[in-house]
Amino acid sequence: MILQSPGDVAFQIFGFPVYWYGVILAFACFLAVFIAKKTYAWVYCDGKSDLIWDVAPFVVILGIVGARLYYCLVNIDYYQFHPIEIFYIRGGGLSIHGGLIAGILALLFAARKYKIPFLNLLDVFSVGTVLAQSFGRWGNFFNNEAFGVPYDGFLKLYIPPSLRPEGFLNLEYYHPTFLYESLADFVIFLILLVVIKRFGMKFHGLTVCAYLMLYSFVRYFIEGIRLDSALNVGDFHIAQIISLIIFLLAIIGAVVILCKNNLKHN
């Protein structure tokens, strides 16, 4: 089975192209907030779920800004000579790690402003975020990006010659790593639903730790076969290094949460 992008333009309005990447990103942002609200109401039942819509602008705007700035930072060799292109996000160029960092800071601010427990916000938004990531990865498909090493097996991704990396111009098919991550993120979403429903009321913050551990684990291995990594440090992609750091911090966070809860009940 061959996957092939039909092109990056979804439609045009008075000759102005609207890209699939932007359409998918907009829907993914809405989906993240919608699922976070529904999850909050499902788990906490404290009458504050509607405040998630008030929290949303902080998270979405700062998340996108953080994702873009992080992407430009790891591609600094290019953007230092093309600074105006930092503002051109219509064609792609966002990093989930930058979005996560900025989104967490936004939630910290929102938690104080709206008097909602910070860890509860992190938990519900982690559930919404990973589902949004699952959907959002399809923006990479339409842009012919986030693909892996050459592969000519059952399920493969065709990349046009103009978008193939140097040294691979004669190779047509590649691992559809965007699809691998999309499917993995959906599985993580299902796991987080179980975690937050079963442990959310007792172990605040455990769900976001589970999200960070599971996503980092998946991203580390998928990133290892990608060809379009933004930056390499020795034999490792920068996303692998960041994923490893986040994975370890999430483990520490989970241990602290579990230990504090045990001490509280002893």
The verdict on residue 204 lying in a domain is no
Q: What is the pLDDT of residues 243-265, one digit of tens each?
A: 999 999 999 999 999 988 766 65
Which of 70-79, 122-131, 157-166, 252-261: highest mean pLDDT?
122-131
Contact 134, 117 (CB under 8 A): no
Q: Which residues contact 84 (CB under 8 A, 6 or more apart)?
A: none
The verdict on residue 166 lying in a domain is yes
Q: Please write down the HEC assignment for all residues of 131-185.
A: HHHHHHHHHHHHCCCCCECECCCCCEEECCHHHCCCCCCCCCEECCHHHHHHHHH
Q: How many domains does the chain have?
A: 1
The verdict on residue 188 lying in a domain is yes
- Structure token pair of residue 203: 């172990």
Over pLDDT 90: what percentage of the chain?
A: 71
Out of 44-58, 75-89, 135-149, least confident range: 75-89
Q: Helix (H, G, I), strand (E, B), or coil: what is residue 257?
A: helix
Task: Report pLDDT for 167.
Answer: 87
The verdict on residue 211 lying in a domain is no
Domain residues for the domain of 88 are 17-196
Q: How far apart are CA 59 and CA 243, in angstroms?
A: 21
pTM: 0.91
Contact 196, 122 (CB under 8 A): no
The Cβ-side half-sphere exposure at 135, using a 13 Å CA radius, reads 18
The verdict on residue 8 lying in a domain is no
Query: What's the whole-number mean pLDDT along residues 14-38?
Result: 93
The verdict on residue 231 lying in a domain is no
Task: Report pLDDT for 260.
Answer: 81
Q: How far apart are CA 203 and CA 250, in angstroms?
A: 14
The verdict on residue 142 lying in a domain is yes
The verdict on residue 229 lying in a domain is no
- Work out the pLDDT band at 35, boundaries 50, 70, 90: very high
